[in-house]
């Protein structure tokens, strides 16, 4: 008989990422309530079974209130585990509270946080707590192998696929595309949006009808606008700003560009693929676990504007190549559904027994709670 449990999640992240990560967990039939400790509610979409506990945005106060709330919520008998996708500091806050309350804890590494927070003093502190986690998730097999090599227990690590609400990301018609290329993400130095602009300028010199859309905001926006003007691209580049509805831009673009020096597996690539935008990206992080060069996208070396421009030109000039890659991309669309991620949570959730006396669906009550066991990939 399935026994429902309550889960606590302590995290920040962008609103869309919060929904993408937590909705598959909340949709699991074993989860009866999901407590979300965060500085605001997600404005991206409704998360089923969610109960928010809002903390101040000012970081020192935020961390203090989060710690107190995690302690309080994890003492509730029905709350059986803590889940986090921000290892530092939010995962640490949840892990310390879970350890004090004798509850299971999950750590999810979703991107550059694996590389940022597993080295130096932060890494030493984090690994101490991560080794005790009941469940660990990575964005791809490459990251999972790196975690194992770092001494984390292999039998507790699973690859958790990025999942999205496919209804929010409709497949576009390339014949009606408004943009040749689109970039979705923060406008900051590590994303190398400047390199995208330089490569696009070389494409536009040969293709006067080429257009580029940049969706997002960030500290580099002013510099990027000036660069577009210097390159003579001011009228060819759209700065769309921040929006929760990125699907309407991705579904109107033929190519989805990412030029980051370091990533895990960006949700913007998943969202673009589900809309039919062919990815052109650097092969960093766990991106090669999900995108295959010359099969479901094109790779180019980091920091190489010439190579990026060559990839863009190939997809614009070679219709057969573009159609083949796009067909392959859309064939994998179902792989990114919420159902795929919900299934990964299944075995770990089955190991979380409810508190003694919690009624079962048939009205009976279980005995003492059984100990959890680590999930195997």
Residue-wise pLDDT tens digits, 171-198:
999 999 999 999 999 999 999 999 999 9
Residue 54, pLDDT score:
97
Alpha carbons 312 and 322: distance in angstroms, whole number: 10
CATH assignment of 5-163+337-350? 3.40.50.2000
Contact in structure between 297 and 329 (CB atoms under 8 Å): yes
Residue 355, pLDDT score:
62
The CATH H-level (homologous superfamily) assignment of domain 166-335 is Glycogen Phosphorylase B; (3.40.50.2000)
Q: Where in the chain is the domain with CATH 3.40.50.2000?
A: 5-163+337-350, 166-335
C-alpha separations of 95 from 60, 66, 128, 192, 244 in Å: 18, 12, 11, 34, 30
Residue 9, pLDDT score:
97
C-alpha separations of 47 from 30, 37, 69, 269, 303 in Å: 15, 13, 20, 22, 38
Alpha carbons 360 and 296: distance in angstroms, whole number: 46
List of the chain residues with pLDDT < 50: 1, 360-362, 364-377
pLDDT digits (tens, 9 = 90+) for 219-275: 999 999 999 999 999 899 999 999 999 999 999 999 999 999 988 899 999 999 999
Give the position of tokens 């699907």. Answer: 247
Alpha carbons 283 and 300: distance in angstroms, whole number: 7
SS3 128: helix
Residue 333, pLDDT score:
96
Alpha carbons 300 and 259: distance in angstroms, whole number: 8
Q: The whole model's pTM is what?
A: 0.89
Alpha carbons 208 and 204: distance in angstroms, whole number: 5
Alpha carbons 228 and 30: distance in angstroms, whole number: 51
């Amino acid at each position: 008989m399935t026994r429902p449990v309550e889960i606590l999640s302590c995290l920040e992240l962008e609103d869309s990422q919060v929904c993408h990560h937590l909705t598959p967990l909340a949709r699991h039939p074993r989860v009866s309530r999901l407590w979300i400790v965060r500085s605001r509610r997600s404005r991206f979409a409704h998360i089923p079974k969610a109960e928010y506990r809002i903390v101040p945005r000012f970081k020192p106060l935020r961390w203090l209130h989060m710690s107190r709330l995690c302690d309080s919520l994890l003492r509730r008998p029905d709350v059986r585990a803590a889940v986090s996708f921000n290892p530092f500091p939010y995962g640490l806050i949840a892990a310390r509270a879970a350890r004090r309350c004798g509850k299971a804890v999950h750590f999810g590494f979703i991107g550059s946080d694996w590389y940022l927070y597993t080295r130096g003093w932060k890494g030493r502190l984090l690994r101490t707590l991560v080794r005790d986690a009941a469940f660990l998730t990575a964005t791809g097999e490459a990251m999972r192998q790196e975690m194992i090599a770092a001494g984390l227990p292999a039998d507790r690590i699973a690859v958790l696929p990025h999942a999205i609400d496919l209804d929010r990301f409709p497949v576009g018609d390339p014949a009606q595309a408004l943009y040749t290329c689109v970039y979705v993400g923060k406008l900051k130095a590590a994303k190398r949006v400047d390199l995208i602009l330089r490569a696009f300028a070389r494409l536009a010199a040969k293709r006067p009808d080429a257009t580029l859309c940049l969706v997002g905001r960030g500290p580099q926006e002013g510099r990027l606008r000036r660069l577009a003007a210097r390159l003579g691209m001011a009228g060819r580049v759209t700065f769309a700003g921040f929006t929760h509805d990125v699907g309407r831009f991705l579904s109107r673009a033929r190519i989805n560009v990412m030029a980051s020096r370091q990533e895990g597996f960006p949700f913007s690539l998943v969202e673009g693929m589900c809309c039919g935008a062919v990815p052109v990206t650097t092969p960093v992080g766990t991106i090669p676990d999900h995108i295959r060069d010359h099969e479901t996208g094109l790779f180019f070396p980091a920091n190489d504007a010439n190579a990026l421009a060559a990839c863009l030109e190939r997809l614009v000039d070679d219709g057969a190549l573009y159609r083949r890659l796009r067909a392959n991309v859309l064939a994998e669309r179902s792989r990114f559904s919420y159902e795929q991620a919900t299934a990964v949570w299944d075995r770990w959730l089955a190991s979380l027994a409810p508190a003694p006396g919690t009624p079962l669906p048939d009205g009976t009550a279980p005995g003492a709670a059984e100990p959890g066991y680590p999930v195997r990939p």
